Amino acid sequence: MNWKPRLGRQGRPLRIAYGRLFHEANAYSPLPATLEDFRRMHRIEGAALAKAASLRGSELAGYMPHAELSGFILAANAAGRVETVPLASSLAVPGGPLEAAAFEWLVADLVQRIEEAGELDGIYLALHGSMDVLGLGEAPEAVLLRRVRAALGEGPKIAVSCDLHCNLSAGLVDPVDILVAYRTNPHWDLAPTGFRAGNRLIRTLRGELNPVQVWRKLPMVLGGGVTIDFLPPMRSVFGWMRKLERDPRVISASLFMVHPFTSAADLGWAAHVCTNGDEVLAARLADELADRAWAQRKVALPPFRSIDAALDEVRDSKWRKLGPVTLIDVDDIVGAGAPGGNTRFVQALVADDRGLKALVPLHDPGAIEALEGKAVGERVHVMLRGTPGYEQPEVELDAVVGAKLDGDFGRIVRLDAGNFHVAVAERPPLPIHPKFWRELGVSPRSADLIVQKNFFHYRIFYLTTSFRHLPVESAGATSLARVRDRDYGSPRYPKADMDDWRPYDEALRAMAR
């Protein structure tokens, strides 16, 4: 078939608004997310957003110059005769459930901007899909989309992109015309995802596409091994989806592998397929995508180590001669909403550091207060307790203040205790980029090990630095035991084992209606 992608270069001028409300929540974190968390991390409005999302801008400053909104702008420019209307972009580091007042403010602000934007043909929103709001009782993104639809009226069309860890529900599907997910894990394809969403929205508005969506919900919260898109077993699934989208009959194919730490009652993986006017084809392909994902459910994660076993393995490993070994603190992943206050790594290193140069981030606002006024080079005795309310062991530490700074994670103090360094942070630290340690005066490459509070995304930035990655169990908000043992009210894998997803699909999709 001699088919080439169409960019929607025809038709009357269009006005399309765009914005972002992005947060991934962890119901087990003792720290609720606040409006200030968004303002500190990423809050851009109006003309400033248009500048940041341009090709010369920096959309997610310090992390990714071009993300979903930049990709959308590129799609609009490629199509031609599209006026893009910037609304607001809000993003916070993953954390506990969002305070209700903060959610209301963010939604009301976005809706007001839509109402003040004038006549619109459509809107593109970059969402996560795994937000939790204290006391809300339903998917926050569903509430947002309902209010956006009410503000737009029935005529304009809505395109949404989501993280592939979105918990898909009817409230996220029914109000929208175009829905696409990231297709990489770690997520490097933010800008391409925004381009796909924008391109399909424009072509729909110009009558080139007639989107028909079908989705399936799987009674599955864990599976697929490490779930990295370019590694087995998920490589074949994601490759099949990419092949699907080369078919001109298929608008999009998305797999949502779910963030399993929210309070959603309908938690589970989901398959979503959108075709150009062919519901029978969409249903067949959605079933096949669900089957392919379901077939990977029993592929387990790599074995987890205890902290002491991991330290012994690093000590004996030749990998550390090539660069630091990464210890993934799987039970305290700030990138999945944990607070980062696990003191158990420091406790183990105090007991026996094995002669290893270790870099350990730690959320401990109490220690930051205790270290206020201490000078660089001063020897200190400090009690580390981690995140308040997180039930971590107290650790006495004799150390030297190696560095102090005020950065993305509030006040940070580097404590040097023999061979290892602890970066004590006022706010939950997410040091996925080597610059975190460099700004504290430490070369990450010279370390034997680095503790990461992130499952996937750090690998993008440490690609040429760390070549060995060991998952380590401790105790915290992202413990997978919480996911396995939770009472879901209906069967979910892996707590329950079923032969087929089909008997559970309809009930799961109806839960959030």
Q: pLDDT tens digits, residue range 160-206?
A: 999 999 999 999 999 999 999 999 999 999 999 999 999 999 999 99
Residues 276 and 315 in one domain: no
Dihedral, 199, 201, 207, 208 alpha carbons, nearest 10: 30
Residues 47 and 184 both lie in one domain: yes
Residue 302 lies in a domain: no
Strand, coil or helix: 438:
helix
Tell whether 358 is covered by a domain.
Answer: yes
**pLDDT value of residue 185:** 94
Q: For residue 504, how far is the Cα from the chain centroid? A: 27
Last residue of a domain, one of 294, 315, 335: 294
Query: What gap in Å lies between CA 127 and CA 284, rounded to an integer?
Result: 27
| Domain annotation covers residue 404 | yes
Number of Cβ atoms within 10 Å of the Cβ of 148: 23
The reply to whether 244 and 317 lie within a common domain is no
Both 219 and 82 in one domain: the answer is yes
Task: Write phi, then psi, for 271 (nearest 5 degrees).
Answer: -115, 135
Q: How far apart are CA 247 and CA 264, in angstroms?
A: 34
Q: Please check whether residues 281 and 317 belong to one and the same domain.
A: no
Measured CA to CA, the distance from residue 340 to residue 335 in angstroms comes to 9
Counting Cβ atoms within 10 Å, is residue 225 exposed (0-12), middle (13-18) or buried (19+)?
middle
Position 5 scores a pLDDT of: 55
**pLDDT score at 149:** 97
pLDDT in tens, the chain (513 residues): 344 556 777 777 999 999 999 999 999 999 999 999 999 999 999 999 999 999 899 999 878 899 999 999 999 999 999 999 999 999 999 999 999 999 999 999 999 999 999 999 999 999 999 999 999 989 999 999 999 999 999 999 999 999 999 999 999 999 999 999 999 999 999 999 999 999 999 999 999 999 999 999 999 999 999 999 999 999 999 999 999 999 999 999 999 999 999 999 999 999 999 999 999 999 999 999 999 999 999 999 999 999 999 999 999 999 999 999 999 999 999 999 999 999 999 999 999 999 999 999 999 999 999 999 999 999 999 999 999 999 999 999 999 999 999 988 999 999 999 999 999 999 999 999 999 999 999 999 999 999 999 998 899 999 999 999 999 999 899 999 999 999 999 999 999 999 999 999 999 999 875
Q: Are 274 and 282 in contact (CB under 8 A)?
A: yes
**Which residues have C-beta within 8 Å of that of residue 180, sequence separation ≥ 6?**
159, 160, 161, 162, 193, 196, 197, 200, 252, 254
Establish if 231 belongs to a structural domain: yes
* Residue 266 shares a structural domain with residue 349: no
Task: Please tell me the distance from the alpha carbon of residue 198 to that of residue 179, in angstroms, as a whole number.
Answer: 10
Strands 420-425 and 270-276 turn out to be unpaired
Provide the number of structural domains found in the chain: 2
Are residue 279 and residue 314 in the same domain, yes or no?
no
Full residue range of the structural domain in which residue 236 is found: 14-294
Residue 299 lies in a domain: no
Q: Are residues 269 and 320 in the same domain?
A: no
Same domain, 175 and 269: yes
pLDDT in tens, 108-120: 999 999 999 999 9
* Placement of tokens 């997310």 in the chain: 33
pLDDT score of 1 = 36
Q: Give me the DSSP letters along 112-143.
A: HHHHHT-S-SEEEEEE-S---BTTT-S-HHHH
Asked if residue 261 and residue 332 are part of one domain, the reply reads no
Single out the residue in 270, 294, 318 at which a domain terminates: 294
- Same domain for 118 and 248? yes
Identify whether 69 is part of a domain.
yes
pTM of the model: 0.94
In a domain, 463, yes or no: yes
Question: Does any domain span residue 454?
Answer: yes
Residues 361, 269 within the same domain: no
Tell me if 21 sits within 8 A of 144, measured CB to CB.
Answer: yes
Structure-block tokens of residue 7:
């960019």
